Amino acid sequence: MAAHMRLQGKVAIITGGAQGIGLATARKFLDEGAQVVIADRSGAAVDAVVAELGAGGAPVRGYAVDVTHAGELKALVAGLLAEAGRIDVLVNNAGITQDARLVNMTEEQFDRVIDVNLRGVFLASQAVLPAMLAQGAGVILNASSVVALYGNFGQTNYAASKAGVIAFVKTWARELGPKGIRCNAVCPGFIATSILATIPAKVLEQMRVRVPLGRLGRPEEVANAYAFLASDEASYINGAVLEVGGGLTL
Ligand code: NAD
């Protein structure tokens, strides 16, 4: 057990928590003493991860939830409130890419990415909000990306969705700050997860050399940022946009 557990007693929902950065965040939050809910679209993946993380008795629950379905999110919140009685942190981490240059991007590709990455963040945040308002406390963290700030070839839909969640955070920081709820965004750079799997090795190498630290990031390095922002150590940080990219955008 860590000497000082920064998320002791907090109940945290991590969307897209079954793999990648979300899974690393679930592990980190458990290490820091939180009760963790993994909300991901695949029930089988959720069950497998909950079985693994919970093997030693860790307080982890799983819900098969598609963040584009308001009804599923409401059921998650109702179930969690019945079991845990509160919701302290929401990490809006679920996200997808469907890349194409503007000239080729289909309406379906555009709509699907906006649906998951933008509308899903709106719906999940709205679902937890009544509980956080009743508590007079809470933290909402949105997964943005460095491409929201600088654009990216082939990512019209994705870059717009990730810029949108920064706009959410800045709006919610104003609306909800007076209610004791802090909202912040994290912009990962190039992090080694399966979301990069479709990117050719040559392009990945070009990305790597652009990073002053000379390497891709690890999911744990983004998880550490979420843990800090979720903790009371970040009690005066509201409406911030934190890059975790090794200096990529310099
Ligand atoms: P990943 O593909 O490894 O994991 C994403 C998870 O989200 C998966 O478990 C997936 O099942 C889940 N998910 C997708 N659609 C969902 C839906 N509709 N409902 C519920 N769950 C859903 O991705 P990752 O690399 O770990 O990325 C996590 C987040 O960080 C994403 O929002 C991504 O855009 C963002 N991000 C990643 C990078 C990177 O380099 N890896 C960079 C910047 C931003």
Secondary structure (DSSP) of 146-159? HHHHH--TTBHHHH
> Is the C-beta atom of 94 inside 6 A of ligand 1?
yes
pLDDT digits (tens, 9 = 90+) for 200-246: 889 889 989 999 999 999 999 999 999 999 999 999 999 999 999 99
The catalytic residue positions are 158
Atom index in ligand 1 nearest the CA of residue 17 equals 9
Mutation to probe ligand 1, out of 15, 37, 41 (largest number of atoms < 8 A from CB): 41
Q: From the CA of 95, how far away is ligand 1's center (Å)?
A: 4
CA distance 166 to 241: 7
pTM of the predicted model as reported, rounded to 2 decimal places? 0.98
Q: From the CA of 102, how far away is ligand 1's center (Å)?
A: 22
CA distance 209 to 220: 21
Give which of 233, 223, 245 is closest to 12, Cα–Cα.
223
pLDDT digits (tens, 9 = 90+) for 114-141: 999 999 999 999 999 999 999 999 999 9
Give which of 80, 73, 19 is closest to 44, Cα–Cα.
19
Structure tokens at 57: 């008795």
Cα 222 to the center of its chain, rounded Å: 10
Average pLDDT of every residue of the chain: 96
The CATH classification of domain 11-244, taken from the options 3.40.30.10, 3.40.50.720, 1.10.357.10, 2.60.40.10: 3.40.50.720
Structure tokens at 189: 């750079």
Sheet holding 11-15, edge to edge: 60-64, 35-40, 11-15, 89-92, 138-143, 181-188, 241-244
- Provide the residue type at 98 as one letter: Q
> Is the C-beta atom of 40 inside 6 A of ligand 1?
yes
> Is the C-beta atom of 18 inside 6 A of ligand 1?
yes
